Structure 1
């Protein structure tokens, strides 16, 4: 693709997003979405200028995504990861993916409009695509035990990842937030941890159990004997640990026991079990770092029948009254 004015504006937008401190994963998602959109406009309508895009072009692009299969279009000139070898190659693109595309393009055009690069926002009247809601897996007690036992805690990296896994399950913290933690953020007496670098940019405290306090204290003492890193959860060399490293570790450990456990799945399981055990939405929303209670309330939509039954039995009004 030639260096069109569209691509120039994308680069400017990405610089603005970077300045806001968005994660690399988020930045990559934005850039890929916008470059795919730019390629479609140039190939289909010979459009290379952001000012030439209309609402009809947007709607045509959404229809094209719905009609094409997964990985059949790439933002790169020459794909290098052999997408045709993937098992889901060519399968329908999910509503959730399409919803993310539309949201990312809307954010880009809002930026252009606010910066007065365009006089009219063509996305203003484009409705959001309703994403599909999938019931998130709730791990059984025995599955959690199997997962935690799969770590070889005699090894530095697996001991570290074991502690990280338990903290996520105990606090609901995001993996990206934990990897920024330094010793000064931890209050071992108050069983609290300050998360300074969060998804929404607002610092918050999470709280952990007595079990976690003991394990965290032991880990810090162990880490300090062999590693002088400023981070609580560093690499073996003392450098900052990458999210991908933890995700890979979880994938390997869980695969060993026939499971598929990710950091985000443990966060979801924290939220579900917190609610099932009688926790309230307002407190959970603060612990998870959500922007509003409404966002947290969506977790209720993810409860399977078995989990609803479990919560009912615990809180049945008649069962808990001596009448």
Structure 2
């Protein structure tokens, strides 16, 4: 499994063991396979939706983690095979997939422009600029190191995607200049340093990126009031990049390669820049 899958499984069992302690008075060191029965598992999933306000998608991700463990346990604890089989019968919950929204180019540029001249504001401007230029996943953008940036006759960034895949994407002139300005402002950043650190020098977190994006959207809504009615997440920015590429005439297969979808090959390099530009001019 990838490190992110392992982290997701870890988080699931932290929540599950905490739930067992709160509702069953079961300490984590005292929980047995027999306690992880279908009734307990159903109550845990309801807790995620009702008390923690998780989406159905998140609920199903947690269930998938527990199922993986139960399948592992079934081969090693035959005495509790009946309990395990009943727990494995707890179904995934069906849900309707919502259409992912996107921002028009002018709206996205307005969001990028609101960053201030403070250190945090300049970092946020570069963060949003690179997110829109590349369409990177949050995990990819916060993993970018200084060494992943190539500045010269051609400018590019190397992204580390799912399953160990890597891809190199071109940076438009305004993005490359923003990176140069940022590195000039932060000469202490070395090759292995995160390009977009927090004040503690560590990479930004997913929650931090979502928070900074939301603050920028709220500020930009003064110029574009329709933003107040939109739920703008990092994934919406990614989708906005895809729509900008599509509207500029890019081939859908090329867009899939650009975004690092499954059809993209490991180590792929996107050479065509299309007409996507995050310049505010």
TM norm. shorter chain > 0.5? yes
Are residues 23 and 147 of structure 1, via their aligned partners in 2, closer, same or farther at CA, if it must alter by over 3 Å? Answer: farther
**Cα distance change of structure 1 residues 149 and 63 upon mapping to structure 2, 3 Å threshold:** same
Find the counterpart in structure 2 of residue 298 from structure 1. Answer: none
**So what's the TM-score if we normalise by structure 2?**
0.68
Q: Does 1:264 align with 2:264?
A: no
Counterpart residue number, 2:68: 107
How many angstroms does 1:65 deviate by?
4.5
Query: Counterparts of 2:41 and 2:143 in 1: how far apart (Å)?
Result: 39
Query: CA offset at residue 150 of structure 1?
Result: 1.0
Give the gaps of 5 or more residues in structure 2. 222-226, 265-281
Pick one of 112, 121, 127 that aligns with 1:158.
Answer: 121
The runs of 5 or more residues in structure 1 that have no matched partner are: 1-16, 73-87, 294-323
RCO greater where, 1 or 2, for CA within 8 Å and sep 6 or more?
2
- Separation in 2 of the partners of 1:214 and 1:271? 23
Secondary structure in 1 aligned to 2:257?
helix
Counterpart position of 2:93: 129
Aligned residues: 244
Q: 2:254 aligns with which of 254, 266, 283?
A: 283
CA distances 1:217-252 after superposition (whole Å, capped 9, x unpaired): 33222322xx34533223345x12322333332222
2:223 aligned with 1:241: no
Residues in 2 aligned to 1:248 and 1:94: alpha-carbon distance in whole angstroms: 19
Instruction: Please report how far the alpha carbon of residue 158 of structure 1 lies from its aligned counterpart in structure 2 after TM superposition.
Output: 1.0
Residue 132 (structure 2) aligns with: 169
Could you say which residue in structure 1 is the equivalent of 2:32?
49
TM-superposed deviation, 1:165: 0.6
TM-score where L is the length of structure 1? 0.61
What is the CA RMSD across the aligned residues, in angstroms? 3.7
**What residue number does 1:255 align with?**
218
Using a 3 Å threshold, how does the CA distance of structure 1 residues 201 and 29 change in structure 2: closer, same or farther? same
